[in-house]
Structure 1
């Protein structure tokens, strides 16, 4: 598939992105949408801000109310902690990335993928990762449904060329996100702080798992194979498998489906 740009629309939006009247916080999402629309075809856009394990802030999206439930509300409730884009935002990994470039080796056969991600009906997701101050990363995602197919190599190359403009837009428009994260916690009050800061360490401690067991099961839920986990933690594949069996025995479960259910309920 070739790239089909709307140059008139591109030049118009570029004119809006420069000068004293450059888009502010409320105009940035629509401006990014218009910029991307001038470059290529996609089905959805969603922009999230991440800070640590806190619930992501949805800055902009193009979903219907029904789609918003799956892509935003359900995601913010806990599944984001297992999302490859969330993991990349924590490192951070600035740049333009395809989801499959960031996903662990068993992500597409993981329970998270089967039980949550497949509900989105996406063929592919590409994200612009923009690292800001105070540990905040903004991820601007372009999505295509299965019917639309994946982004071509030429389209991906074009998005990488557009990165400097996207970075400048984000840094100009969303330069006070720390305040928004702090306000979100304050609005929930003391009783809601857990929802804003999911304490994964507390979850596993309450389930009587050791630190090593907790690290392994989180990587399992993210979609890492035993081999991948062993490499990341510096232990043998056999040791990883022993720890996994011990976790299943402690929790009285026999499947990753049950493990994910326990994890998400405990976070809730």
Structure 2
């Protein structure tokens, strides 16, 4: 795709001329600039902070897609999303979903039950830490019919990352206060209990069991979980069997069903 510099600079000029800038205006400006650089089918901008429910700042979806990518996502699946965990870790840069996903992500029940509904060939994100533990993620998405981002286009987006990060920090300042307005913005010493934590407590899982099962649902294999938690693969499997017996289930699909049902309870 040929870069449309005229469209890029026109969008930037319109933005600098605005005196009052809403989420919508910022999103539309960023959308126009990104479309001048590369081809993609959708864009969504989320703000993440600690364990709080993410704030949707902008998206390009119609009603049906908005329900999948935003409403349903915010209801609980975000807790299993590799982008959510990467944002919480405070990473920055342009990162592809396939680089961040656990080793069993694309065969997990989370992928089959939720993420596959997105019908995406690829998703990449600009991860921009702002202030007070908030990270803004600008996700660009390409559908299966469009295919993945070519290496040249991904390289162009990587080159554009410093500009995008500066734009995001200027356009979406004061996000910590917005989390505070929702009752989710307390500092790390009083970090809010996430919806997932509440589920594990309700199901009477120990902290170790909860840690393992959460990683299972995210798409980690027993080997990957063992490495992350510094325990043996055999210990992981024992804990997993104990949880299945405690919950009266025998499969990951049943585990995900219980998890999502209790998230929405």
TM-score, scaled relative to structure 2 = 0.92
Shift of 1:24: 5.3
Question: Does 2:122 align with 1:117?
Answer: no
Count the aligned residue pairs: 257
Unaligned runs of 5+ in 1: 187-195
Change (3 A) 1:38 1:23: farther
Report the equivalent of 2:188: none
Aligned mates of 1:185, 1:229 — CA distance in 2: 32
1:161 aligns with 2:159: yes
Q: Answer yes or no: is the 8 Å Cα contact 1:23–1:31 preserved in 2.
A: no
Match of 1:103 in 2: 101
Q: Which residue of 1 aligns with 2:91?
A: 93
Tell me the distance in 2 between the aligned counterparts of 1:145 and 1:20.
33
Candidates 202, 205, 208, aligned match of 1:209? 205
RMSD over aligned CA atoms reads 1.8
Return 5+ residue gaps in structure 2 as ranges: 185-191
Aligned to 1:56: 54
Structure 1 residue 36 and structure 2 residue 3: aligned? no
User: Structure 2 CA distance, aligned partners of 1:25 and 1:59?
Assistant: 6
Equivalent in the alignment of 1:183: 181
Deviation of 1:32 after TM superposition, in Å, equals 0.7
SS in 1 for 2:140: strand
Aligned-pair distance for 1:167? Answer: 0.9
Alignment deviations for residues 78-101 of structure 1 (CA, whole Å, 9 cap, x no partner): 000000000100001110000000
Q: Secondary structure at the match of 2:124?
A: strand
What pairs with 1:1-268 in structure 2 (closer than 5 Å)?
A: 3-18=1-16, 25-185=23-183, 198-268=194-264
Runs of 4+ more than 6 Å apart? none
Deviation at 1:16, TM superposition (A): 3.8
- CA-to-aligned-CA distance 1:112-148 (integer Å, 9 cap, x gap): 0000000111110010000011111100000011011
Shift of residue 197, structure 1, vs aligned partner:
5.5
Contact 2:12 2:29 in 1 (8 A): no
Q: Give the Cα separation in 1 of the matches to 2:247 and 2:101.
A: 27
Deviation at 1:6, TM superposition (A): 1.0
